[in-house]
A and B are shown apart, each in its own frame.
Chain A
């Protein structure tokens, strides 16, 4: 792991939203981790844990409350020069969850995909621009004639391919994919996932892949991070996190995934969590999982655990793990 080059370094990133007059919602609270060049980092967690907010804060769609992102050695703290920022917006792209809402219904696919090319002035002539778009459409498995159609003429899977073509248009290094397959059917999901993997091999892309489908995350990721209520609670390689999860929340969540195999499914031990995720507004001190954790002690309820490396490359935030 030490030889690998860090492409994105997220440092003490925080994103708070004001709620009402005096309250704050800590959607992302002091998250620190690195993403290596060429890897897929999967980010999982239940709804409302802040995984999408984290993705959007990294790319700069939300200004961070505190902390910053270091991208390929450049600190992106809002004080970077305009040229550095423009280069960042070219090299980091995003694929969104809902292929119905993320494409402008009044624009043709040609213009949707070419928008970034135009903004960055990457094409010298109209002809070159159109050719670039057609090449991109071919790359994602669409045809030339699709360029002159509107988004409503496509199925969900095809729209997601348009979204991917748009993200690829600027030849980025890093793509944040925020639940790119959760709006798609099972057989279509597999097509899109294979496309993501093929593109990574061809172009050496780095992915931050956000999803709540744990079996898909295991399939696509090299490393997996687990979030709970705005904090990263565990981060390690994909095999390690599924074979030896250390955080009680990770253990419970993985034991709750229904497996598509009736015998395995009915004969395994489940760690049942009681209750549901508390509101992220005005959280008290201590570990955020303490209220649902079967191993919680007084220390857990008063002192927040640090996110520490317990084994090489295996980070976890829990007082009970040493």
Chain B
């Protein structure tokens, strides 16, 4: 099947007072129709910036220095801002982390949905738009939608607000829905409701989803494929079962064992020593080399290539290189 979204070799630089942060350094991922891709990683690994660059929503001090983003074969990087405005919201829509700040507090929620339709569906009449907005509220599981239509965000709970944000994102039937930490600000019982809603909606309206999260439980719940990012790069990608049951990259393994399991008793949590690299001066070799327990000389000097394991399961680590095993005896520190 043809990919709906294809991101290749994306590089993003962010200018700060202290220097240029190379936040994203050669990220590639693709998204098949009706698929859910999770991008996981710690804060500062570049996961949010990567998808913001995909939507061309970078802050004014950020720029895409290299790479390509294709939506159904159409290149987005070279489009003008005017053309991008047409695509954002109608072809690709986004759900943000904090529903309190992503809604306008001075506008009723109904009006905020209609605003989206006004921008992209110019042929619709005002009455149709209102009808559609009420339908959307109903679709995202808000009871009594006619009444809610006239309410302001502060009158709704956190979970309800996130449902409204989802309704706005879905207003124009986007092909790709990008959710940036959509449940991080919510409580567990509400998080379960929102994740269920996203899965249910995906079946109903055939949209592809990219979800960004640092919560491995959320990944296990919703994703079909996973990209693990570290230090501005993708280090491992594969199906959800590959990543959870057959992780190959030392970082993925470390991340999985750092989370306590609810059904197992562990005395001590596995830790990854040290802290993530400074992307102002990114390491020359593997980004994880400084914290990895298997570091070799080659790791510090050269970036590891991707090695393929199963279909679609790749990992970038020098340990996978056959030559590494030959020299194992003398190159290990």
Query: Residues of A at under 8 Å CB distance from B?
Result: 46-47, 155, 157-158, 185-191, 193-194, 197, 212, 214-216, 218-219, 242, 252-253, 256-266, 270, 272-273, 276-277
Contacts and interface: CB of A to CB of B under 8 A. Distances in A.
B258 A276 contact: no
A204 to B, nearest CB: 18
Contacts of A216: 260
Contacts of B271: 187, 190-191, 194
Given A194-B271, A219-B260, A253-B189, A261 B43 contact: no
Given A212-B188, A219-B260, A266-B220, 19 more contacts: A46-B187, A46-B190, A185-B42, A185-B214, A186-B258, A190-B259, A194-B269, A216-B260, A218-B260, A253-B188, A258-B221, A259-B263, A261-B244, A262-B220, A262-B221, A264-B220, A264-B263, A265-B220, A265-B221
Contacts of B258: 186-187, 189-190
Interface of B: 42-43, 157-160, 187-193, 195-196, 214-221, 240-241, 244, 254-256, 258-263, 266, 268-273, 275-276
Nearest to A238: B265
Contacts of A187: 42, 254-255, 258, 271-272
Contact of B262 (A157, A191, A214): A214
B192 A270 contact: yes
Nearest to A186: B258
A293 B243 CA distance: 37
**Which of A187, A190, A197, A215 is the most central at the interface, judged by chain B CB atoms within 10 Å of its CB?**
A187
Nearest to B272: A187
A157 B192 CA distance: 29
Contact of B189 (A219, A252, A259, A260): A252
Given A189-B258, A258-B192, A259-B217, A276 B241 contact: no
A189 to B, nearest CB: 7
B262 A215 contact: yes
Given A46-B188, A262-B244, A276 B158 contact: yes
B106 to A, nearest CB: 22
A262 B262 contact: no
B261 to A, nearest CB: 7
A221 to B, nearest CB: 11
**Which of A47, A157, A190 is the most central at the interface, judged by chain B CB atoms within 10 Å of its CB?**
A190
Contacts of A260: 216-217, 219-220, 244, 256, 259, 261
Contacts of A218: 260, 262
A259 B221 CA distance: 8
| Shortest beta-carbon contacts, A-B, top 4 | A258-B217, A219-B260, A46-B187, A260-B216
Nearest to B241: A262
Given A212-B188, A258-B191, A258-B217, A186 B262 contact: no
A180 to B, nearest CB: 14
Contacts of B190: 46, 276
A190 B270 contact: yes
A263 B245 CA distance: 10
A261 B263 CA distance: 10
Contacts of B276: 185
Given A155-B275, A214-B262, A258 B269 contact: no
A219 B192 contact: no
A258 B189 contact: no
Contacts of B273: 191
Contacts of A257: 188, 217, 262
Contact of A256 (B192, B254, B255, B259): B192
A259 B157 contact: no
A257 B218 CA distance: 9
A258 B275 contact: no
Contacts of A276: 157-160, 189-190
A253 B159 CA distance: 15
A260 B244 CA distance: 8
A257 B189 CA distance: 8
A70 B34 CA distance: 58
Contacts of A191: 271, 273
A24 B218 CA distance: 37
A46 B189 contact: yes
B187 A212 contact: yes
A259 B332 CA distance: 35
